[in-house]
Structure 1
Amino acid sequence: MATLLIHPDSEMQERIRSELKENVTTRESDLQIIKEWLAKEPHLPDTWDDERIMTFLRGCKFSLEKCKRKLDMYFTMRNALPEFFSNRNIKRPELQEICKYINIPPLPGLTPEGRRVIVMRGLDKDQPTPIVSDAMKIVLMIGDIRLAAEQIGVAGDVYILDASVATPTHFAKFTPSVVKKFLVCVQEAYPVKLKEVHVVNVSPLVDTIVNFVKPFIKEKIRNRIHIHSDMESLHKFIPKDVLPEEYGGTAGKLQVFHDQWMKTLEEYQPWFDEQENIKADESKRPGKPKTQDDLFGMEGSFRQLVID
């Protein structure tokens, strides 16, 4: 994993810990509290990976109650969204096909602020649009590996979205329902904060896409979306030594990073198999079970996300 993710040096670790309110003398007792809570919740798994629970604690700035809510939502999403969380095997033909025509890797290096950069781009505009939920499944598989791999923690995520091959035909497959479910899942069930979104290689379609997504997100996140007309503009936000060569950087080739991550997904297959049935059991939830309407709003409505 060291070749995939470069961890912060000691000085940056201190800055990240300060931002995440991590106290090295109390974090193990906080972890134990969450583990005991999990064991007592009848609808949640009795136990889970210590490393991943610690990542949730960090992402919640060590607020125990917020961590409980976030973990509950995470396992609830595993149950509510089988299109994202079942049959997670990167060797399945439909997932292999997607991996040929998109790059979606987190980059090895961190920004000076201690943030992880993730690039998403298509490689061929003439390729038919894959099943969108399968592409989102791969993104979440990488996210689940990162829950354990970010051993020190990061000060948030930065996304680079490359729109160079986006076409109206591709965009038409992104229905409000699937986009809503993905955004609720990522932002309410995963612990890493979205700090910036950078859109590069823009076309007139980009405005349509951004306006499509805006109803799902609060103003705080809208203000973190940056549209770039050239790479120099991007470099004002992300240093060249973090960026791959395709974006004017010096960190290496994006395709190489992508291939490394796909290989890692294969290596994690036993873990994904084990996790298949580790999810919330709504029949055992104290009180009222969570429904699709509770989680995502009525079909066709735009439930605004609460992002902090």
Structure 2
Amino acid sequence: YECSLSPPMLARAIAELNEPDNNLDRLKAIDRLKEKYGPLLKEDDAFILRFLRARKFDQRKALKLLQKYHTIRTELPEVFNRVKEPERLAAIMNSGTLYFSNGRTKTGSWVLMFKPGPMNDIISAYDVVAYSVLCIEKLLENEEYQICGSITIDDLKDFNLTSLSPSSKLKKMFDLWQDSMPIRIMPIHILNESKVFSALFKLIQPFMKKKIKQKLRLHGNCFAELHDSVEKHLLPSCLGGT
């Protein structure tokens, strides 16, 4: 493995993620984690490095994340069978429900847009999670994404409980994002939330870790604070974008 980060991005990784400042120490950290785990879905150094960065090079925490990354695949076959057969996700791919904006914020983060309102009974919660896994796995191939992560924007206009099919594995799906993917979670902006969301939030709140709760930003239909974090050219017109 040879680091492909630019000097400014590497400096950020060193400051924010405890990244070693030389490749030899980086490779030693990768080898130590490999030795602790055993057989892996992928063996290459770049793959292992994602988990170290996601846990700020804490070997114990990175090992736990690596273990959960593998075990969640057997615990959520409803999601990962779809990941293996992406043709099953054609409906959500073409719906405009979930997509990344074309560009990055001034802090380097990607912007993930989620708009469940237009969904229909053809698209399930498993489809949403499987498609998001496909997108994130592809982005994780980019080292800068591992450093900068993505801001999430959930536009809940027209959202109702029938928009998202109920799932008996709601907690497992939360565990997937909180504990099982080597990602850096940035602020999560919730817009146009309604009483329906309030009821749903009470249901899912017990599953959410404190760190995730601290990332939440509830805006209602006031977009001014969102515009302070995300440039308007990255947003759709319905959210005050240009």
TM bracket, shorter-chain basis? 0.7 to 0.9
Q: Quick one: structure 1 residues 244 and 19, their matched pair in 2 at CA, closer, same or farther if it must change by over 3 Å?
A: farther
Structure with more contact order per residue of length (Cα contacts < 8 Å, sep ≥ 6): 1
Using the alignment, how far apart are the partners of 1:150 and 1:67 within structure 2? Answer: 17
Q: Quick one: structure 1 residues 245 and 53, their matched pair in 2 at CA, closer, same or farther if it must change by over 3 Å?
A: farther
Listed as ranges, the matches of 1:1-308 within 5 Å are: 10-25=7-22, 26-38=25-37, 41=38, 44-45=39-40, 47-87=42-82, 88-92=84-88, 95-122=89-116, 124=118, 127-128=120-121, 130-151=123-144, 153-171=146-164, 173-175=165-167, 177-228=168-219, 229-249=221-241
Identify unmatched segments of 5+ residues in structure 1: 1-6, 251-308
Using the alignment, how far apart are the partners of 2:143 and 2:98 within structure 1? Answer: 17
Q: Which amino acid is 1:128 matched to?
A: D
* SS of structure 1 residue aligned to 2:86: coil
* SS of structure 1 residue aligned to 2:67: helix
The farther-off stretch of 214-223 and 241-250 is: 241-250
- Under a length normalisation based on structure 1, what TM-score does the superposition of the two structures give? 0.67
Using the alignment, how far apart are the partners of 1:80 and 1:107 within structure 2? Answer: 31
Aligned-pair RMSD on alpha carbons? 2.7
* SS of structure 2 residue aligned to 1:75: helix
Using the alignment, how far apart are the partners of 2:108 and 2:176 within structure 1? Answer: 24
* SS of structure 2 residue aligned to 1:56: helix
* SS of structure 2 residue aligned to 1:48: coil
Among the aligned pairs, what percent are the same residue? Answer: 26
* SS of structure 2 residue aligned to 1:153: helix
Compute the displacement of 1:134 (Å): 2.2
Identify unmatched segments of 5+ residues in structure 2: none
Q: Quick one: structure 1 residues 109 and 57, their matched pair in 2 at CA, closer, same or farther if it must change by over 3 Å?
A: farther
Q: Quick one: structure 1 residues 235 and 247, their matched pair in 2 at CA, closer, same or farther if it must change by over 3 Å?
A: same
Number of equivalenced pairs: 235
Conservation of the 8 A alpha-carbon contact between 1:160 and 1:197: yes
* SS of structure 1 residue aligned to 2:91: helix
Q: Which amino acid is 1:223 matched to?
A: Q
